Amino acid sequence: MRRWLLPVLVLVALVGAWQLAASSGALAGALHLEEFLVPSPAEIASALWENRGLLAENAWVTLREVLLGLLCALAAGLGFAVLLHLFETLRRAVYPLLVASQAIPILVVAPILVVWFGYGIGPKLAIVALICFFPIAVNALDGLRSVDPEAVKMMRTLDASRRQILWRVEAPTSLPYVFSGARIAAAVALIGAVFAEWAGSDSGLGHMILQDNAQLQTARVFAAVLVLAGIAIVLFALLALAERRIVTWR
Amino acid sequence: MAARTKGFAIADAAPAARQAPGVAVSLRGLEHSYGELRTIERLDLEAPAHGVLGLVGPSGCGKSTLLELIAGLQEPTAGDVELDGSRDRPDRLARCALMPQRDMLLPWFLAIDNAALSLRNRGVRRRQARDEAGLLFERFGLAGFERARPAELSGGMRQRVAFLRTLLSGKPVLALDEPFASLDAITRAEMQAWLAKALGQDPRTVVLVSHDVEEALYLSDRVAVLSARPGRVVEQLSAPAPRARDRDAAVTDPAFVAVRERAMQALRGTR
């Protein structure tokens, strides 16, 4: 409780200052903008409430892209990490390429994917999965490789097979790494989904932001951004909860 | 991992009745090096079946490497390591269990599941593996700690679980790498007496590495003093027998003290 007090106070102060600056017209004046372009927190809150149906509908679209994309990235990233871990030659051949592939700005590829796969959920999943794959795969691989070699030696003299060493020693060791990879992935997944929607879509929070922005519906843009932030926070909280439930030995 | 063996079919036998077959360890003309670095040089040592061979020497003299050679985790550069007459690395791996320097308990398993690890690796069902390990928990002063997490155990307790894990492998040869190095002096003395008793009840051929001459002499039948790297045998000493039951009485016995001083002198000569 105590540790929340200060951040909450700071947040209240910031929002209050924004409210004052926006409702008095000082903020719009300083930015040389029309007042309706600079919504106050109160206006954003009412936009949030009035458009709750529309926001929920679009949030569900984006959330689905994020969750399915994350799941694909988890399955592919973990599988990939295990393969690279088990086959040293494969790792030496592929790992440098994997790292180098990060130089490709995947978000920029989004329009091409839309050309290829159309306006459906396909290209969104591809973008989200692609950008989430790297942090998950690299963290999982680092985790698998962080195992104490003494533990592996001990297991070998206790008749463990390669698979038993993987499941009983290496996989549990790598779990905290996998979770931190998943946290990074969850954060970039939302950005990926929004970018993918910008590249071409007919629904979703990213789509909504783009349209509202064009129509100068700034309060609703902020409302959509708030919903996106809310989704991110919930995802983080769920991951933290899962980690606490699963990694009980830390 | 080529060396996947089913170990010994001991899992089904009642633990009390389990008697590991006696297996002798013999090292002849053993040499080992990591690239240019020579770790072991012309080493000859024997441990009879159910005997305890202690190894002492300055740090970095290849003691841990020697245990890995015996356990079949490494191949010698030259010479032979024989366990029960076989020089095959997979055979050695099947006949020897290693207790590493740090306890290496897996924090995600309960104490009992850590102890039962080798049984589980050999395909024994969890219930049965726990039952079998549970009997040893009672016999070796760990009753009530079966469901503890390793993090909840004291250093001495952890070391006991680690030793039971090694013992439950059912392997005739145990390679113990400074098993009590991380413990305080009093716990350590307790653990030495505990280990001596455990080996009395369930005899195995043991190769014990220690940096503590007194510990090595108290627990072993013979102690080999190794030189600094590359390691070779400087002197072999027989522990005075018979030993008093009580550890403190045993290590203060004049005969024991005399051998200990000779070992210390040999060790000093290695520097």
ipTM of the shown complex: 0.84
Query: Considering only CB atoms, which chain A residues are within 8 Å of B114?
Result: none
> Over 90: is that where the pLDDT of B255 sits?
no
B3 band by pLDDT with thresholds 50, 70 and 90: very low
Q: In this complex, do B104 and A151 lie within 8 Å of one another by their Cβ atoms?
A: yes
Query: Considering only CB atoms, which chain B residues are within 8 Å of A162?
Result: 1
Least confident segment among B128-132, B157-161, B241-245:
B241-245
Q: From residue A145, how far is each of A141, A171, B91, B98, B140 by CA, in Å? A: 6, 10, 28, 22, 35
Q: In this complex, do B96 and A157 lie within 8 Å of one another by their Cβ atoms?
A: yes
Q: In this complex, do A249 and B5 lie within 8 Å of one another by their Cβ atoms?
A: no
- Taking any CB pair shorter than 8 Å as contact, residues of chain B touching chain A are 1, 3-7, 68, 71-73, 93-94, 96-102, 104, 106-109, 117-118, 120-122, 149-151, 165-166, 169, 171, 175
Average pLDDT over residues B204-225: 92
What does pLDDT average to over chain A?
Answer: 93
Q: Which of B258, B195, B259 is nearest to B225 (CA)?
A: B259
Q: In this complex, do A164 and B121 lie within 8 Å of one another by their Cβ atoms?
A: yes
Both tokens of A5, joined, read 């007090």
For the segment B7-47, what is each residue's pLDDT rounded down to a tens digit? 333 333 334 334 556 778 999 999 999 888 888 988 999 99
**Residue % of chain A over a pLDDT of 70:** 100
Answer with the residue of higher pLDDT: B9 or A212: A212
User: Could you tell me the fold of the domain covering B10-270?
Assistant: Rossmann fold (3.40.50)
Answer with the residue of higher pLDDT: B36 or A169: A169
* pLDDT reported for residue B66: 92
B214-245 as b/e: b if 16+ CB within 10 A: bbbbbbbbbbbbbbebbbbbbbbbebbeebee
Q: Which of B91, B105, B108 to substitute to test the interface with A, most A CBs within 10 Å? A: B108
> Over 80: is that where the pLDDT of B60 sits?
no
Query: Considering only CB atoms, which chain A residues are within 8 Å of B118?
Result: 158-159
Q: In this complex, do B1 and A162 lie within 8 Å of one another by their Cβ atoms?
A: yes
Q: Does A159 touch chain B (CB under 8 A)?
A: yes
Task: Tell me if A173 sits within 8 A of A147, measured CB to CB.
Answer: yes
> Over 90: is that where the pLDDT of B2 sits?
no
Establish whether the linkage from the previous residue to B242 is cis, with ω within 30° of 0.
yes
Average pLDDT over residues A4-10: 93
Q: In this complex, do B1 and A161 lie within 8 Å of one another by their Cβ atoms?
A: yes
> Over 70: is that where the pLDDT of B156 sits?
yes
Q: In this complex, do A153 and B108 lie within 8 Å of one another by their Cβ atoms?
A: no
Q: Which of B69, B91, B104 to substitute to test the interface with A, most A CBs within 10 Å? A: B104
Q: In this complex, do A159 and B6 lie within 8 Å of one another by their Cβ atoms?
A: yes
For the segment B167-197, what is each residue's pLDDT rounded down to a tens digit? 999 999 999 999 888 888 888 898 899 888 8
For the segment A75-133, what is each residue's pLDDT rounded down to a tens digit? 999 999 999 999 999 999 999 998 898 888 888 888 888 888 888 888 899 999 999 99
Task: Tell me if B164 sits within 8 A of B154, measured CB to CB.
Answer: no
Q: In this complex, do A155 and B121 lie within 8 Å of one another by their Cβ atoms?
A: yes
* pLDDT reported for residue A160: 95
Task: Tell me if B223 sits within 8 A of B237, measured CB to CB.
Answer: yes
Query: Considering only CB atoms, which chain B residues are within 8 Å of A250?
Result: 107
For the segment A10-44, what is each residue's pLDDT rounded down to a tens digit? 999 999 999 999 988 888 888 888 888 889 999 99
Distance from CA of B250 to the nearest CA of A (A): 32
Distance from CA of B241 to the nearest CA of A (A): 32
* pLDDT reported for residue B4: 36
For the segment B78-118, what is each residue's pLDDT rounded down to a tens digit? 999 999 888 899 999 999 999 998 899 999 999 999 999 99
Q: Which of B9, B5, B13 is nearest to B131 (CA)?
A: B13
* pLDDT reported for residue A50: 95
